[in-house]
C-alpha cells in the first residue's frame, strides 16, 4: 500500500502544478508518517533522476549562454570555496567535531552537497554513521535554503542573474539550487545550473587534495561524467537545429523531474532521523552555510 502511495505522489508531481517546496515538504511528511517502501533505493533513484534532469536542461541552452553564465562571479565562487574550507578547519578546534565529519560537511558546503560527500567519503575511509550525519546536515540546510532564498532575493530586489549566482554559490546540493532558482525565474535557473555544474567539477581537485591530506593510498577520484554529457547536449543544441517544440518539451519534463527529485530528497529526511544528528555537526554546518551565504550575498549585491 505504501508503495502505491509513494508512486502516486510522484505521478501527482508530474501531472499537477506542484512547486519545488511543496514536493520537498511532501517527501518529508511521507517518510515521517509512513514507512518509505524503498529506503535502500532512494539515494540511487535521486542520483540518477537528478543527473538526467540536469542533462535535459541542456536542450534549452546554447554554448554562448553557458560560457557567459559560467564566467559570472568566478572570483566570488573561488573566495567562497576558500572561506568554507578555511573556516571549517578553524572551527574544528572550537566545536570538537570529528575530523572526518568536518571534512565531509566542509566539502559538501564548498562544492555540491551530497555528491561531493559521496565522492570524498571513500577517500577518507569515513564510517557509515559519519556519512549519514554529514548528508543529513547538508540536506536539512538545503531544505531550509529552498524556502528562504527566493523571498530574500525578492527583498533585496536581486536580478535574475544575481539570484542564480547566489543560489549556485550558497546552496549545497544541485537539486535545491535548481529548485530555488526555478521558482525565481528562467534566467536565474540557467545561471544557477551552469555555475553549479562548474562547481561540481571542483570535486576532482578536492579529491586530489583529500588524498594528500589524509594520506590515502589507492583512492580513486570520481569524475562527474554527467556534466560532460550536459556540455555535449549544449554543443549539439548549438550546432544542430533541434525543433523548438522538442527542446521545450524536454526542458519542461526535466523541470518536472527535478521537482520529483526534491520529493525524493524530502523522503530521505524523516523527522525522527533528525533527532539523532547531534547538535555539534548541525551547528557546525549551519555556521559554515550562514557565513558563505551572507558573504556571497554581500559581494554579489556590491
What are the boundaries of each domain within the chain? 2-301
Distance CA(246)–CA(251), nearest Å, equals 9
Using CA atoms of 279, 285, 286, 287 in order, give the dihedral in degrees to the nearest 10: 110
Residue 95 has phi, psi (to 5 degrees) of: -100, -15
pLDDT (0 to 100) of residue 164: 93
Distance CA(293)–CA(166), nearest Å, equals 8
> What is the band of 188 on the pLDDT scale with cuts at 50, 70, 90?
very high
Distance CA(248)–CA(64), nearest Å, equals 18
Residues 6+ apart with CB under 8 A from 44: none
pLDDT tens, position by position, 24-61: 888 888 888 887 888 888 888 888 888 888 888 888 87
The residue assigned the cell 533541434 is 242
**Residues 111, 206: contact at Cβ < 8 Å?**
yes
Distance CA(28)–CA(264), nearest Å, equals 9
pLDDT (0 to 100) of residue 160: 93
More confident residue, 4 or 63: 4
More confident residue, 118 or 253: 253
Residue 161 has pLDDT above 80, yes or no: yes
pLDDT tens, position by position, 127-150: 877 887 888 888 888 889 989 999
Predicted TM-score (pTM) of the model is: 0.82
Instruction: Give me the chain's average pLDDT, please.
Output: 83
Distance CA(184)–CA(161), nearest Å, equals 10
Amino acid at each position: 500500500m505504501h508503495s502505491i502511495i509513494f508512486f502516486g505522489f510522484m505521478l501527482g508531481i508530474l501531472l499537477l502544478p506542484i512547486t519545488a517546496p511543496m514536493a520537498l515538504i511532501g517527501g518529508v511528511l511521507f517518510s515521517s508518517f509512513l514507512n518509505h517502501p524503498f529506503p535502500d533505493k532512494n539515494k540511487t533513484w535521486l542520483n540518477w533522476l537528478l543527473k538526467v534532469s540536469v542533462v535535459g536542461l541542456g536542450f534549452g541552452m546554447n554554448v554562448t549562454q553557458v560560457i557567459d553564465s559560467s564566467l559570472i562571479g568566478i572570483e566570488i565562487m573561488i573566495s567562497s570555496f576558500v572561506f568554507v574550507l578555511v573556516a571549517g578547519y578553524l572551527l574544528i578546534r572550537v566545536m570538537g567535531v570529528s575530523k572526518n565529519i568536518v571534512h565531509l560537511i566542509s566539502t559538501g558546503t564548498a562544492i555540491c552537497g551530497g555528491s561531493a560527500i559521496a565522492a570524498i567519503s571513500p577517500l577518507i575511509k569515513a564510517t557509515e554513521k559519519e556519512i549519514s550525519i554529514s548528508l543529513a546536515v547538508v540536506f536539512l540546510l538545503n531544505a531550509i535554503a529552498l524556502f528562504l532564498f527566493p523571498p530574500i532575493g525578492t527583498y533585496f530586489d536581486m536580478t535574475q542573474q544575481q539570484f542564480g549566482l547566489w543560489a549556485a554559490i550558497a546552496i549545497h546540493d544541485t537539486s535545491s539550487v535548481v529548485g530555488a532558482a526555478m521558482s525565481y525565474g528562467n534566467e536565474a535557473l540557467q545561471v544557477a545550473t551552469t555555475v553549479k555544474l562548474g562547481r561540481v567539477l571542483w570535486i576532482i581537485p578536492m579529491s586530489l587534495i583529500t588524498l594528500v591530506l589524509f594520506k590515502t593510498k589507492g583512492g580513486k577520484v570520481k569524475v562527474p561524467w554527467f556534466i560532460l554529457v550536459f556540455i555535449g547536449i549544449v554543443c549539439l543544441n548549438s550546432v544542430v537545429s533541434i525543433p523548438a517544440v522538442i527542446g521545450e518539451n524536454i526542458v519542461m519534463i526535466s523541470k518536472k523531474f527535478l521537482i520529483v527529485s526534491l520529493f525524493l530528497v524530502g523522503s530521505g529526511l524523516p523527522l525522527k532521523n533528525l533527532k539523532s544528528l547531534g547538535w555539534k555537526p548541525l551547528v557546525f554546518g549551519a555556521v559554515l552555510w550562514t557565513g558563505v551565504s551572507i558573504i556571497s550575498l554581500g559581494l554579489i549585491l556590491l
